[in-house]
A and B are shown apart, each in its own frame.
Chain A
Amino acid sequence: MYATNYHRASSVADAVRLKGTGEETKYVSGGMTLIPTMKQRLAAPSDLVDLRHVAEMKGITVSGGTVRIGAATTHAEVASSAEIKAACPALSHLASLIGDPHVRHMGTVGGSVANNDPAADYPSAMLALGAMIVTDRRRIAADDFFTGLFETALNEDEIIVAVEFAAPEKAGYSKFPNPASRYAMTGVFVAKSASGVRVGVTGAGSDGVFRHSGMEQALAGNFSPDALSGVTTDPADMLSDLHGSAEYRANLVNVMARRAVAAAT
């Protein structure tokens, strides 16, 4: 790891100010992606601004059917939150499947969403839940937020403060973990609400997380696993690597989607 300067931000405004100082300053949240990258000497920020102690970015609130999760909330907190288990158990389930206990107690929702790893779990839920990514300066719909592999609509110094979504009627998440990393080889999040059904797929798409419109249409009329039997996923749009060919991933998308629907509560 290269030497770096550490700063602890006390507020969102303080964090943005600190980001403007230093040669190449980066935000750090749980550090579960950024620190390993630095240890492998693939990133060399001169300064780190720690977001985990900013009060405005912490905590979970559910009011009037709207769920708000502060960006600095850890995966473990989401996995064990009684409020989230009541409002959207599928999201608690998703958080419980991330990494190992160490990672879940350090890694945060904001970090995961900002990083937009094509195999990360949260982005699929954000898309399927039609979430709003709340930043220090605007609200970005999930549909507009995830723009490609490791790419988002965030500006250079923009901070995710929270994510918000309306509690769905029903939702389910099914993940097939990569045997080595245990990130999602394919993860499918399905959510049914008054405005329809949304399906978010992570781990599989060659452009990163995506919504599966064929599945959404099929499920709109009949929210059951069988409704998906005729739906296909084009391998041409899938990732292919050591762990899974495009054909295999296309298959997993369908299998995980059926299981997510079956599990939806």
Chain B
Amino acid sequence: MGVEGIGARVARKEDKRFLTGKGRYTDDMVVPGMKYAAFVRSPHAHAKIKRIDASAAEKMPGVIAVLNGQQMLDDGIGNLICGWMIHSKDGSPMKMGAWRPLAHETVRYVGDAVAVVVADSVGEARDAAEQVVVDYEELPAVTDAATALTAGQPQLHPEAAGNLIYDWAIGTSEAETDAAIAAAAHVTEMTILNNRLAPNPMEPRAALGVYDSAEDHYTCYTTSQNPHVARLVMSAFYNVAPENKLRVIAPDVGGGFGSKIFIYPEEIVCLWASKRAGVPVKWTSDRTEAFLTDAHGRDHRSTVKMAFDKDNRITALKVDTIANFGAYMSLFSSSVPTYLYATLLSGQYAIPAIHANVRAVYTNTTPVDAYRGAGRPEATYLLERTIETAARELGVSPAELRRKNFIRSFPYQTPVIMNYDAGNYEASLEASMKQADWAGFPARKAEAEKRGKKRGIGMSCYIEACGIAPSAAVGSLGAGVGLWESAEVRVNAVGTIEVLTGSHSHGQGHETTFAQLVADRFGVPIDSVSVVHGDTDKVQMGMGTYGSRSGAVGMSAIVKALDKVEAKAKKIAAHLMEADESDIVIENGEAKVAGTDKTVPWFQVALSAYTAHNLPGGMEPGLKEGAFYDPTNFTFPAGCYICEVEIDQETGKTDIIQFVAADDFGNIINPMIVEGQVHGGIAQGIGQALLEGVHYDAQSGQLLTASYMDYAMPRADDLPSFQVSHQNTPCPGNPLGIKGCGEAGAIGSPPALINAITDAIGNNDLSMPATPQKVWAAIHAAH
């Protein structure tokens, strides 16, 4: 490892511009003649639109156009779609209701867009939007998914009878699983709620649509995690424009956490309105619009049975989950509570029989889709709360119960599709218990007791599936896209290098880690390597960043391209030095003939490729190679998290005393960035477990948590100093041995925290977020 190569703690190259306020985000983009959009949104959770009267709004100062959904329909703009087909147990396809970018018949959640105003300024657009009179006929609303499934409830979409999108199952047969449960020595049963979250990236969503009538061409600047997918979907399904007439640029993007994977109405409307109104149209969400319309995360209600034999070995697991999808099926919503969730229900444990049933349900709420972890936090929370509870019921140590059930030989085929390639769960368990001084806990608890505090400790052993995923595999499971990644490595004429990647960085630090990879390969300084991403005109087709895939999949594509560049460079160097190609090594910025003092500097190799004065016979000029990498399997990061808390019994307030994370991420390119990802993930997980929760009024469907006055985000002083470590087993499935680290923190932490709090208060009946009021009530209920 060099000082800037693989494994080095290189400071992030991109931070200079971010920290000095010089990042260039979508809202910073200015094009000549640009105007501003404001959306007219439904104030009702469910209503029929009887009439839209824009006459007053059209007369307002600065107004250029007021456009509606009927016009969009007339122009042939398609429905928003969900791109992952799930079939119900009975073989029928999922029931997808129509989602119009601008509703013209029915609104189905508070915030549903019904019209757009384009005006000279944001203020004028908003003033005019308030003057658009929409005549609604209010309908009853339902916000809770379990309720929405019952008889007599409001029906959202004619396509989905009883609001049921699909009723899907996976794993061992139900009969076999039931039989194993019936034969068990002990069964732990629980109802597990996974709270609904608002993603809250620091940068709100934004879009700038620019129509060029001379070329009949569109440019869309937007806050996207995957600009090529955005272009594909907008072209192929929404009929905005053919791909060659649509350029999508995702410039600096300030966080996404999944919410910026999906294609939303606003970017389509900005593009379409730009043509209709004849001006470039920009929209930037405000924070309340973000709470209302950014796809939410999680919102599961599950029941679980975990069965044990007399030796405390798990014999079966049965899970029944109701997943709230909100008013419409967002782009990848269907995959989250199925293939990203139920396939992980084996956790780190050898469980011979697993049966999971998942029902996806429409409600009059914001659409729900992938949010950091996507399905895997739900699986981990369910399993780790259940096994912890089982340990308490069985009167055994939670660590011992886990240890006894760990999978120990690999590869391991679970009953729920996944085939784990490698892992050492014991190593992370041991490391975290040692770090947390697990053995010393009783003494600390006794000492806290003297101060009148209730102290508790909890653990969570998570596994996740990252790097999604082999295209053929996801295709067979219903995905509408492949999940490979692309890269191009361009060596310039004097040796600087550009990496064009289909991955997209919105906080992950790709400009640094990807450059480290190249620096490592050729021994060139990372400052001579630039990473280009986020522009469909510059970069070849790519799939973008989510599911912790940029390392395992995106960097593997770069490795493949580097292999090709290296091979050609060696041929050139061998030719220049009149040596055998197999004797050439490239390191420290030069090509050498091994065992001699013959060298050619790297820039000379590059220059030779481009002058082409003296290349090996038949060789094409240039030094530029592309590659596509399709993974062979998911990757399986895993780890053990331990959390220790103290509870103020009088107020129910939780103080996190220590938080230990021991992760197995495979090989690591930049430990500092990986630790940052873990810290951020744990902060989000603690946010979910302790503070965050989206709430709707059950009757009216109004969003009660539409600002930071009511939606509690974690602040620095809510968090302890994290203790993180790694026990890495290299991933056998990709050339770098990388597993992925972007989501682990958010996956592993919530159950550790809730296990600790319930341990402290002696009452297991506690749901997330464990607010002071809930913890206080649980303490009182226990006594």
Contact stretch, chosen from A23-31, A63-71, A174-182: A174-182
Given A1-B123, A40-B288, do A179 and B695 touch, yes or no (CB 8 Å)? no
15 extra A-B contacts, CB within 8 A, seeds A179-B772, A242-B705, A243-B771: A2-B123, A2-B127, A40-B288, A41-B126, A179-B771, A180-B705, A180-B710, A181-B709, A242-B695, A242-B704, A244-B773, A245-B773, A248-B772, A248-B777, A255-B651
Q: Look across to chain A and name the residue whose beta carbon is closest to the beta carbon of B691.
A: A179
- Which residue, of A180, A181, A255, has the highest number of chain B Cβ atoms within 10 A? A180
For B773, the chain A residues whose CB sits under 8 A away are: 243-245, 248
Contacting residues of chain A (137-195) with chain B, CB-CB under 8 angstroms:
176, 179-181, 183
Q: Is A113 an interface residue (CB 8 A)?
A: no
Q: What per-residue 1/0 map shows which CB atoms of B361-378 lie under 8 Å from chain A?
A: 000000000000000000
User: What CA separation (Å) do A244 and B772 show in the bound complex?
Assistant: 9
A176 vs B773: C-alpha distance when bound (angstroms): 11
State whether B708 touches A181 (Cβ < 8 A).
yes
Interface range on chain B (Cβ under 8 Å from partner):
20 to 34
B777: chain A residues within 8 A (beta carbon) = 245, 248
Q: Is A251 an interface residue (CB 8 A)?
A: yes
Which residues of A1-16 are within 8 A (CB) of B? Answer: 1-3
CA distance A251 to B707 in the complex (A): 27
Please tell me if A252 contacts chain B, counting CB pairs below 8 Å: yes
| A242 / chain B contacts, CB cutoff of 8 Å | 695, 704-705, 710
- From the candidates B288, B651, B712, name the one contacting A180 in the complex (CB within 8 A): B712
Interfacial chain B residues near A252, Cβ < 8 Å: 651
For B449, the chain A residues whose CB sits under 8 A away are: none
Q: Which residues of A contact B137 (CB under 8 A)?
A: none
CA–CA, A102 and B253, complex, Å: 26
Seen from chain B, the residues whose Cβ lies within 8 Å of a Cβ on chain A are 123, 126-127, 130, 288, 650-653, 691, 695, 704-705, 707-713, 771-773, 776-777
Q: What is the distance, in angstroms, from A184's C-beta to the closest C-beta of chain B?
A: 13
CA distance A248 to B713 in the complex (A): 22
Bound Cα distance A40, B130 (Å) = 13
For the complex, give the distance between the alpha carbons of A189 and B777 in Å. 25
Asked if B123 and A180 make an inter-chain contact with CB atoms under 8 angstroms apart, the answer reads no
Q: Among the interface residues B288, B691, B711, B776, which one has the most CB atoms of the partner chain A within 10 A?
A: B776
**A41: which B residues are within 8 A, CB to CB?**
126, 130
The digit string for A240-265, where 1 denotes a CB below 8 A from any CB of B, is: 00111100100110010000000000
Do A180 and B708 contact each other (CB < 8 Å), given the known contacts A2-B127, A243-B773, A244-B773? yes
4 closest residue pairs by CB, A with B: A180-B712, A179-B712, A255-B650, A181-B709
Cβ–Cβ contact B776 & A251, under 8 A: yes
Q: From residue A92, how far is it (CB to closest CB) to chain B in Å?
A: 20
Identify 16 residue pairs between A and B in the complex whose beta-carbon atoms are under 8 Å apart, listed by A's number. A3-B123, A40-B288, A40-B707, A176-B651, A179-B772, A180-B709, A180-B710, A181-B708, A242-B705, A243-B710, A243-B771, A243-B773, A244-B773, A245-B777, A251-B651, A255-B650
What is the interface size of chain A, counting residues whose CB is below 8 A from a CB of the partner? Answer: 18
Q: Which B residues touch A176, using CB under 8 A?
A: 651, 653, 772
A243 vs B695: C-alpha distance when bound (angstroms): 11
Q: Distance (Å) between the CB of A132 and the closest chain B CB?
A: 31
Query: Within the assembled complex, what's the spacing in Å between the Cα atoms of A179 and B714?
Result: 9
| A70-102 residues at the B interface, CB under 8 angstroms | none
Write the chain B residue with the least CB distance to A258.
B650
The residue in A1, A2, A179, A181 that gathers the most chain B C-beta atoms within 10 A of its C-beta is A179
A residues near B709, Cβ cutoff 8 Å: 180-181, 183
Shortest Cβ gap from A237 to chain B (Å): 18
List A contacts of B707 (CB < 8 A): 40
Which residue of chain B has the shortest Cβ distance to A40 in the bound complex? B288
Contacts of B288 in A (CB 8 A): 40
Cα A244 to Cα B704 in complex, Å, equals 14
Q: Which residues of A contact B710 (CB under 8 A)?
A: 180-181, 242-243
A243 to B777 CA separation, bound complex (whole angstroms): 12
Chain B residues with Cβ under 8 A from A2's Cβ?
Answer: 123, 127
CA distance A183 to B707 in the complex (A): 14
Give Cα A41–Cα B129 distance, bound, in whole angstroms: 12
Would you give the shortest CB distance from A86 to chain B, in whole angstroms?
28
Cβ-closest chain B residue relative to A179: B712
Residues of A within 8 A of B711 (CB): 180
Chain B proximity of A62: nearest CB distance (Å): 32
* Distance (whole angstroms) from the CB of B301 to the closest CB of chain A: 19
CB nearest to B126 among chain A residues: A41
Q: Contacts of B772 on A, CB cut-off 8 Å?
A: 176, 179, 248
Bound-complex Cα distance A33 to B651 (A)? 28
CA gap between A41 and B704 in the complex, in Å: 18
**Assembly CA distance A41 to B709 (angstroms):** 16
In the bound complex, what is the Cα–Cα distance between A161 and B123 (angstroms)? Answer: 34
Q: Name the distance in Å between B322's Cβ and chain A's nearest Cβ.
A: 23
Within 8 A of B (CB), among A217-259: 242-245, 248, 251-252, 255
Closest chain A residue to B288, Cβ basis: A40
- Nearest A-chain residue to B695, judged by Cβ: A242
Cα A2 to Cα B126 with chains together (Å) = 9
CA distance A23 to B710 in the complex (A): 33
Query: A96 → chain B, closest Cβ, in Å?
Result: 14
| Chain A residue nearest in CB terms to B650 | A255
Q: Which residues of B contact A243 (CB under 8 A)?
A: 710, 771, 773
CB distance from A178 to the nearest CB of B (A): 8
Smallest CB separation, B130 vs chain A (Å): 8
Residue of B whose beta carbon sits closest to that of A1: B123
- B629: min CB distance to chain A, Å: 43
Closest Cβ–Cβ distance, residue B760 to chain A (whole Å): 18
Residues of A within 8 A of B713 (CB): 180
A175 to B713, CA, bound (A): 20
**How far is B288's CA from A183's CA once the two chains are assembled, in angstroms?**
19
- Chain A: which residue is nearest B715 at the CB level? A182
Docked Cα-Cα span, A3 to B62, in Å, equals 14
- Chain B minimum-CB-distance residue to A176: B651
Which residues of chain A come closer than 8 Å to B695, judged between CB atoms? 242
Complex-state Cα separation, A190 to B126, whole angstroms:
47
- The complex places the Cα of A176 from the Cα of B651 at a distance, in Å, of 8
> Chain B's nearest CB lies how many Å from the CB of A29?
20
C-alpha gap A245/B708 in the complex (Å): 20
A3 contacts which chain B residues (CB < 8 A)? 123
Which residue of chain A is the closest to B648 with respect to CB atoms? A255
Chain A residues within an 8 Å CB radius of B126: 41
Shortest C-beta distance, A102 to chain B (Å), equals: 14
Of B653, B691, B708, B710, the most chain A CB neighbours within 10 A belong to: B710
Q: Collect the chain A residues with CB atoms within 8 Å of residue B708's CB.
A: 180-181
Smallest CB–CB gap between B772 and chain A, Å? 7
B379 to chain A, nearest CB (A): 27
**A82 smallest CB distance to B (angstroms):** 26
In the complex the two chains form, what is the Cα distance from A242 to B691 in whole Å? 12
Complex formed: what's the CA distance from A41 to B125 in Å?
13
> Chain B: which residue is nearest A256 at the CB level?
B651
Q: Nearest residue in B to A249 (C-beta to C-beta)? A: B773
Chain B nearest CB: distance from A40 CB in Å?
7
CB distance from A111 to the nearest CB of B (A): 17
Chain B residue numbers with a CB within 8 Å of A1 are 123
Interface centre among B127, B651, B709, B773 (most CB of A within 10 A): B773
Residue of B whose beta carbon sits closest to that of A3: B123
Q: How far is the CB of A32 from chain B (nearest CB, A)?
A: 13
State which residues 35-68 of A face B: CB under 8 Å: 40-41
Cα distance, A243 to B772, chains bound together (Å): 9
Cα–Cα, bound, A251→B772 (Å) = 12
Q: How far is the CA of A133 from the CA of B130 in the complex (A)?
A: 39
Interfacial chain B residues near A179, Cβ < 8 Å: 691, 712, 771-772
Taking the closest CB of chain A, its distance from the CB of B218, in whole angstroms, is: 31
Bound-state CA distance A40–B126 (Å) is 11
A182 CB, min distance to chain B CBs, angstroms: 8
Residues of chain A within 8 A of B712, CB atoms compared: 179-180
**Cα distance A245–B652 in the bound complex, in angstroms:** 13
A119's nearest neighbour on chain B, judged by CB, is: B709
Q: Determine the distance from Cα of A3 to Cα of B704 in the docked complex, in whole angstroms.
A: 28
- B776 x A248 contact (CB < 8 A): yes
